[in-house]
Amino acid sequence: MNPTAGTQPQGGPAAGASAPGRSFAAELTYWRRRRELSKKQLAITMGFDPSYVSHVEASRHAASEDFARKAESALNAGGALWQAWRTTAPARPAATAEHEGEGVIVDDDYAQLHYDGSTYRARQRRRLFNGGAEPVTRYLMRISVDRYPGQPERSNALYRARPLTWDELNLTATCDGEPMTWRSKHDRDAFKEAWLCLENDRGRFPLYPGQHAVLDYAYQVDDGRWGPWFQRAVRLPTRRLSVELVFPAALDPVVWGTETSTTAEAVPLRTPVTRTERRTGDVEETVFSWAIDTPPMGARYRLEWRFRARDDGAVPQPALRTASDRMRSVGIVQHGAPILTRTARPFDLPAEAAEATGVIDQLFTAIQRVREQHVFGKGMGLAAPQIDIDRSAAVIISPDPDAEPLVLLNPRVISESAEVDEQYEGCLSFFDVRGLVPRPLRLEIEHTHLDGRRVIAALDAALARLAGHEIDHLYGRLYTERMRSGVAPIPVEEYRGTGQAWSYR
C-alpha cells in the first residue's frame, strides 16, 4: 500500500472526531453539521427528499445502503459514515470481499484518452478507499467499444469480422506502482470485463478496511474499432471525476459532451470542456479537460468529438434525450412493435444449434451496449424479440457479479410458488416508466441446451423475477399485463429505486 494507507482521506475527520460505536443517525448529524449543510442542502446533494434525511437523523427510519453510500460520498466522512452504517445496519448476508464495490469509495477517478492518429490509448487511474469491513482483493474493470453509435447492425458486422482480442488490447495494471495480475471475466467481440487482482507472482497486497490505494490500468484500441466517444459511468460513490482527451492538433478536433442520470433526460455537460494546446516532442497536441465533484451514482458523462481536418465518414448521431431514446439507439425494439406481441418461434435442437448460438451472441452484444446506457443494480435480462429476432431465446444477468449469465432456450415455466411479492420493474422496450408487478417468489423453468437436453432450473427471488419477465417476452406478454387492476406505471423520474437491488426478506 502507499505511505498514506490507514490515514483519513483528504477532508476527513481529525483524529478522534468520529466517536467509535456512534449510531449512523448520530454520525450523519455530526458530519452534516461539520460540513455546514442543512438537511435540505444535504438531501438535494444526495438526490433524496429532505424529509428522508430528517427521519434518518431522528432514527424514525433506518437508512438504506444506497443512502449510506451517498451520504459518505457527499459528506466526505473518511469512511466513518459507511462503517457506522455497516455496524448498525440490519443483518444481511456476509459480505463477499471479492464483489466489486463492497464498501469501496473512489476518492479520485481520472481517465485519459490519447490518440496519435491511428491508435487510441486509454488510461484509468482511481484512488480507492475501503470503507467496508472486509479486505478487497480484486476490482472489476470494463472495456466497451462501439465504432458506429446508433447503428448497431453496422457495429455488429464490424466486430464479428474484427473482434477485439486481449492480446491486441495489451492490458496492464498496477496498484500503488506494484504490477497486478488480471483475469478475464467476459470476453465478447466488442466488450471485455476483467478482474484486476491485488496480487502478482511476488505476493499479495489486499486493500484493507480504512486503507487507500491507487489503481492504474491502461489498454489500446486501433481507430478502426474505436468510435468517436468516451464515456465515464459512476458505479461507486465517487468524490471527483476528471477526463482528459489528447488529440493531434493537426486534426483540428472539436469536443462536446452530455450528462445522463438514471432517471433524467440527457443534457449538455453542466460545466464547459476546457481546451489547451501543448507540444510533446515534435507533435503539437490539443488537450480537452473536464471534471466534476461528487457525481451522483448512476450518472454517465459522455464526451464526443470529430476531426474537422479529416473526414472519418461520420454520420449524424441520433437524439438520446430519454431513456427510451437510448434503448432505441442501441437496437432495442420499442413498445408497439408487432414482434413484442407474438409467441417466439422455438429452436429445433440440436439441429439448429448453430442458429441458436448466433442468436445468443447477438443477445450478449446487445446487452453490452445496453449496459453502457444504464446501471442495473437488480440484474437485467434481454429476450430475442427485443432485438427483433423471432426466436425463443433470452439471457439473464444476475445482480451477483460472480454469477454466470443464464441462457434460456425454449424456456417454459412448469411450476411457480403460491407466495408472491410485488416489486417495481422496468422494460427496455418502454424504459421511461416503472411498474409495480406481482410475481411468484420461486419458479421452476424447463429449458433446452444446445445439444437438445432439456433441463429444469429452480430460481428464487430476483432471478425468478428476471427470468419470469423475459419468458413473458417470449410469449408476447409485457409486464403491464400482470399489474393489478387500477395500478399504472409511474414515470422513471418518480422512481427512487434505480441502481438498487430488489429487497427480499
Q: Helix (H, G, I), strand (E, B), or coil: what is residue 405?
A: coil
The CA-atom distances, in angstroms, between 303 and each of 113, 300, 376, 463 are 11, 10, 22, 35
User: Pairing relation of β-strands 240-248 and 104-115?
Assistant: parallel
DSSP characters for 293-358?
A: ESPPTT-EEEEEEEETTS-----PPPP--SHHHHHHHTTPPPTT-GGGGSBPBPP-TTTTHHHHHH
Q: What is the 3-state secondary structure (H, E, C) of 224-290?
A: CCCCCEEEEECCCCECEEEEEEEEEHHHCEEEEEEEECCCCCCEECCCCCEEEEEEECCEEEEEEEE
Extract the C-alpha cell encoding 87: 455496524
The CA-atom distances, in angstroms, between 147 and each of 130, 287, 458 are 36, 22, 39
Cis bond upstream, residue 350 (ω within 30): yes
Q: Helix (H, G, I), strand (E, B), or coil: what is residue 140?
A: strand
∠ CA 284-285-289 to the nearest 5 degrees?
A: 155
Extract the C-alpha cell encoding 345: 418461434
Q: What is the DSSP letter of 191?
A: E
State the CB neighbour count (10 A cutoff) for residue 451: 8
User: How many alpha carbons lie under 13 Å from residue 434 in its C-beta half-sphere?
Assistant: 15
Distance CA 53, CA 320 (A): 33
Extract the C-alpha cell encoding 369: 451496449
Specify which residues 287 forms β-bridges with: 246, 276
Extract the C-alpha cell encoding 341: 406481441
Distance CA 430, CA 333 (A): 9
Out of 470, 481, 493, 494, which one is annotated catalytic?
470
Contact yes or no for 270/208 (Cβ under 8 A): no
Annotation says 27 is catalytic: no
Distance CA 215, CA 195 (A): 12
Specify which residues 196 forms β-bridges with: 139, 182
CA-based radius of gyration for the chain? 24
User: Pairing relation of β-strands 393-397 and 253-260?
Assistant: unpaired
Q: Locate all alpha helices (DSSP H) within 7-49, ordered by sequence.
A: 24-34, 39-46
Show which residues are catalytic. 470
